Structure 1
Amino acid sequence: MPEQPSQLSPPVDPARDHMDGPDDPGVTLLEYGDYQCGYCQRAHAGIRRIREQHLPGQVRYVFRHLPNTRLHPDAQRAAEAAEAAAAQGRFWDMHDYMFANQDALDRDSLVDAAATLGLDQQRFARELDDQIHAPRVRADLDHAQASGVHVTPTFFIDGRRYDGPWDDESVLDTMRRPLGGRVRQFAEDFAGLSASAGFLMLLGAVVALIWANSPWAASYTALWNTEMAVRLGGFVLPLSLHQWINDGLIVFFFFVVTLEIKREITAGEMSDPRRAALPLAAATGGMVAPAVLYLLFNWGGPAAMGWGVPMATDTAFALGIMAMLGPRVPLALKVFVATLAIADDVGAILVLALFYTTDIAVAGLVLAALCFAAALALNRARVYRPLPYSLVGIGLWLAVLYSGVHTTLAGVLLAFAIPTHSPPNTPGLHSQSTALFDSLQAPPVASNDQSRYQATVRALESLVGRLLSPAQRLERDLRPWSSYLILPLFALANAGIAVAPSTLDFLRPVSLGVIVGLVIGKPLGITLATWLAVRAGLADQPTEFSWRQVAGAGALCGIGFTMSIFIADAAFADSGPLALAKVSVMVACVLAAGLGSWLLRGAPSPSA
């Protein structure tokens, strides 16, 4: 699903923001805060300590309002009081006063505070009573939503969200920007870009194409044919580097995809049948129409088995281009495409398992079934540690590899066996964690104080681990490896096609089927299936995006790079049709990206 933004939006503006500090600061610290929030009060003291003791004269501090009226009934009034004081040039005096007197934020106390601070008391009281400054506070709330801020305090350091610990040392490490911190920040910023995974895949594909058509083409082929056998006694697993990527590493990609599918089915967009109906219908149309168009060109021919190639959608590329189009693409459309793509992945996995598997070894299937049963038994026994599942997963992968079924099935089965558990009792965990932190502040107890500290830290780690299920933790931890290592390696290993006249003959049935299927079939199938689902009453008509935007998103779903190439490898044994199919996939991706971008750039509003 689309990620929460990590960048401040809008950026700091001296014309509207409340700022305290040098005009040319070494660092800018922005806080979204609530004057009745106890955590903000503690953070206020820490911010003052950092500014006055650690980095004097180097920090510009900016404050924006985020009053939580559900928990703090006086917070909205306090925010407006700060703005009423700002109208008389005394924002920071009122700001400091309210954090120092959180138990006195009622109307009369604030009016008395205005007099204490030397403000025009009558003007202050009138503006507070008439809520003159409510729109200014509302604007900060809107900005908080645009920046993905929902809790207080939330900090941004030089425009980047800071989610690290609030202790002085951790904050100072980020502000001082040591080399390691700058490298980490660059990596986080890059990973935060929706287009980053797609960019790395594209880079891998471009490098592969150039390499395979350069004077060093033989080294490209030799590299991927290098045998990397695993030997254990008399057991030998003689796989080439290419096979390790296509039969080994890619399993992690399918494992992560299936974890995401599982999450969406249990708690996401697809958990509500009514909400899921529209993207499910779109995904079905987006798979059927391209396959039918492909078969129209190849029915009865030797390449008919390639009908699965134009069915796939590459989520990273599609969402990446939508992100680059900015506000032209509403968030609801991105969610629709993400859910559609997940359903599309389910279809691609089923197609691979059911239609592109030959030479089945029954013994391997039996062994795989036993391994899967063992994983389910671990789940039922409430085993939450990843190591037992990893060991069973290795056995499952070997069994599936031996069976002749594509090894992606191993990743799918293991992901469905990874346990989830009921949502945590957050009030109970909060009370327990507070008690544990309070225990750390108790006076030291001689020699066993260090062991007490370590035991408390282990208990806190266990509490934090309870907040995410094993499936959620694995999805979070493995997704970067899948997106930024495995998929670019897959592109590098599979996109190196030696370009020849035969691979550029786009009028051959294979090429026409792939290109027409992806570029025309995808948007046609998605739009038509979505319209039919609405007309049949199976789903509600979208109000957040227009039909042209549906068509534009459908065109972007024609970027089928990863899964299309993967299915092509499974569908074509002959190198000639395989090379032509891969080149056609790349051409189709470029055309689909252009068509989708054009449709979305000129799309009318939903009411049009």
Structure 2
Amino acid sequence: MTATRPRSAMREFLRGEAASGILLMAAAAAGLLIANSPLAAGYFGLLERHVGPLSVLHWINDGLMAVFFMVVGLEVKRELVDGQLSTWPRRVLPGLAALGGMVIPAVIYLLIARDTPGALRGWATPAATDIAFTLGVLALLGRRAPVSLKVFVTALAIIDDLGAVAIIALFYTAELSLPWLGAAGAVLAGMTAMNRLNVRRLWPYMLGAALLWVCVLQSGVHASLAGVAAAMTVPLDRSKAAPDAHASPLHRLEHALHPWSAFLVVPVFGLANAGISLLALPADALVAPVTMGVALGLFLGKQVGVFASAWAAVRLGWADAPEDTSWAQVYGAALLCGIGFTMSLFIGLLAFPDAPTLQAEVKLGVLVGSLASALAGAAVLGLSGRPNS
């Protein structure tokens, strides 16, 4: 039982993310269709309507997405402490692949957009992989994508998410308010103290997370980071002897929040942010530097960065290749890592908060790059056959 528990948790996670990815595809397609239909005026008007201090779009991107980031934080902590990333040998291959898959796309973007005024802030847009979208495509491929490959991609995407969170914190933070930042630190210290005192009820952590979100929102740091920070304070039992190890507060909270994040938050984000009025774009929008930088960063940069890093790590003896998986399948997975929908859109919108034209180019680049990566990756994996076949 002890040896199989992390694997069971991973399988449950894969099933949930795959279904969420399929729903996200439908939501993104719906947003694009609505934005180019007679319903467009109502669609954009609703997103711009204010509810209290924020517009509906800001409530989605700054409020609902905090739930998504809290789930990301819970997943990262679980995998680092007691899962597929709990030991250094397990971290090496997905870690190096994730690093290559973040650096090369950013370099490609910078090379393409370097001469465009104001465009350099979007350098991190193609650096992220959408875990739900990617696993949704893998799920549609069935047995042509072996479980070991799905685990590799999941671990890579989790590390990728952690890198994206660090990028947001370091490079996309507005002017700081020290009093509010101090208040956020005090709330986080209190939540950490609850962990140390072995507080196992979830409601104090949820209350703390809500207070932390308000403080972080007011501090100038992006509010999404409150979700990750709060998640790191939730206790995770490591006792292998416990008959029901999943009674851990972290497991209970992740189990409670994951369906809401996967089947409500992420699809709503996709529906709200994938909408681009194609007729309103300039004629050369498809070949604009930001569009091309994002699209080629995702499609070309991700496959080169992920595959080359994984291949080099195995050839140099630093890591083992995924079991029962061919290099053709690893290459197919590297292509799928170019699906950067949720996190890429999120970073792109942070990069250009007051530039609607650049935002539209980011969205177009993300859609083109992600679609090309999904189709190419699915084709490679579909043609590669099952292992040992």
Name the TM-score, length of structure 2 as normaliser.
Answer: 0.92
- Pair 1:489 & 2:256 matched: no
Contact 1:310 1:517 in 2 (8 A): yes
| Equivalent in the alignment of 1:505 | 285
- Pair 1:200 & 2:23 matched: yes
Which of 19, 29, 34 pairs up with 1:211? 34
Partners of 2:216 and 2:177 lie apart in 1 by 9
| C-alpha deviation, 1:607, in angstroms | 7.4
Which of 237, 259, 262 pairs up with 2:74? 259
| C-alpha deviation, 1:218, in angstroms | 2.0
- Pair 1:341 & 2:164 matched: no
The superposition leaves residues 122-175 of structure 1 with CA deviations (integer Å, 9 ceiling, x where unpaired) of xxxxxxxxxxxxxxxxxxxxxxxxxx9xxxxxxxxxxxxxxxxxxxxxxxxxxx
| C-alpha deviation, 1:541, in angstroms | 3.7
The superposition leaves residues 66-114 of structure 1 with CA deviations (integer Å, 9 ceiling, x where unpaired) of xxxxxxxxxxxxxxxxxxxxxxxxxxxxxxxxxxxxxxxxxxxxxxxxx
TM-aligned CA distance change 1:541 to 1:394, over 3 Å: closer
Larger-gyration structure (1/2): 1
- Pair 1:400 & 2:216 matched: yes
- Pair 1:530 & 2:310 matched: yes
| Equivalent in the alignment of 2:45 | 222
Which of 139, 164, 170 pairs up with 1:354? 170
Contact 2:143 2:386 in 1 (8 A): no
Contact 1:548 1:604 in 2 (8 A): no
Which of 86, 110, 113 pairs up with 1:295? 110
TM-aligned CA distance change 1:193 to 1:355, over 3 Å: closer
Partners of 1:245 and 1:296 lie apart in 2 by 32
Contact 1:503 1:579 in 2 (8 A): no
| Equivalent in the alignment of 2:295 | 515
Say which SS state the counterpart of residue 417 (structure 1) adopts: coil
TM-aligned CA distance change 1:249 to 1:215, over 3 Å: same
- Pair 1:271 & 2:86 matched: yes
- Pair 1:330 & 2:146 matched: yes
Partners of 1:309 and 1:414 lie apart in 2 by 25
Say which SS state the counterpart of residue 506 (structure 1) adopts: helix
- Greater percentage in helix: 2
- Pair 1:546 & 2:361 matched: no
| Equivalent in the alignment of 1:78 | none
| Equivalent in the alignment of 1:567 | 347
| C-alpha deviation, 1:216, in angstroms | 2.9
Amino acid at match of 1:226: R
| Equivalent in the alignment of 2:259 | 480
Contact 1:552 1:597 in 2 (8 A): yes
Contact 1:561 1:586 in 2 (8 A): yes
Amino acid at match of 2:19: S
| C-alpha deviation, 1:192, in angstroms | 5.3
- Pair 1:556 & 2:372 matched: no
| C-alpha deviation, 1:4, in angstroms | 8.3
| Equivalent in the alignment of 1:586 | 367
Which of 179, 189, 208 pairs up with 1:363? 179
Q: Which runs of 4+ in 1 moved over 4 A?
A: 1-6, 191-194, 604-608
| C-alpha deviation, 1:195, in angstroms | 3.8
| Equivalent in the alignment of 1:55 | none
Which of 67, 90, 96 pairs up with 1:281? 96
Partners of 1:422 and 1:192 lie apart in 2 by 24
Amino acid at match of 1:330: P
The superposition leaves residues 197-217 of structure 1 with CA deviations (integer Å, 9 ceiling, x where unpaired) of 122222222222222222232
Partners of 2:8 and 2:364 lie apart in 1 by 32
Contact 1:503 1:583 in 2 (8 A): no
Partners of 1:563 and 1:304 lie apart in 2 by 18
CA-based RMSD of the aligned residues comes to 2.3
Mapping of 1:444-483 within 5 angstroms?
Answer: 467-483=246-262
Contact 1:208 1:496 in 2 (8 A): yes
The sequence identity of aligned pairs, in percent, is 44
Contact 2:93 2:310 in 1 (8 A): yes
Q: Which segments of 5 or more consecutive residues in structure 1 lack a partner in the other structure? A: 7-147, 149-190, 230-237, 430-463
Contact 1:546 1:604 in 2 (8 A): no
Mapping of 1:114-129 within 5 angstroms?
Answer: none
Partners of 1:602 and 1:541 lie apart in 2 by 20
| C-alpha deviation, 1:597, in angstroms | 1.0
The alignment covers a number of residue pairs equal to 380
Partners of 2:57 and 2:191 lie apart in 1 by 28
Say which SS state the counterpart of residue 124 (structure 2) adopts: helix
Q: Which segments of 5 or more consecutive residues in structure 2 lack a partner in the other structure? A: 1-5
| C-alpha deviation, 1:584, in angstroms | 1.5
Partners of 1:374 and 1:194 lie apart in 2 by 32
TM-aligned CA distance change 1:471 to 1:584, over 3 Å: same
Report which structure shows greater RCO (CA 8 Å, sep ≥6). 2
TM-aligned CA distance change 1:503 to 1:585, over 3 Å: farther
Contact 1:251 1:410 in 2 (8 A): yes
Say which SS state the counterpart of residue 237 (structure 2) adopts: coil
| Equivalent in the alignment of 1:239 | 54
Partners of 1:353 and 1:199 lie apart in 2 by 29
Contact 2:78 2:236 in 1 (8 A): no
| C-alpha deviation, 1:329, in angstroms | 1.3
| Equivalent in the alignment of 1:166 | none
Deviates further, 307-316 or 538-547: 538-547
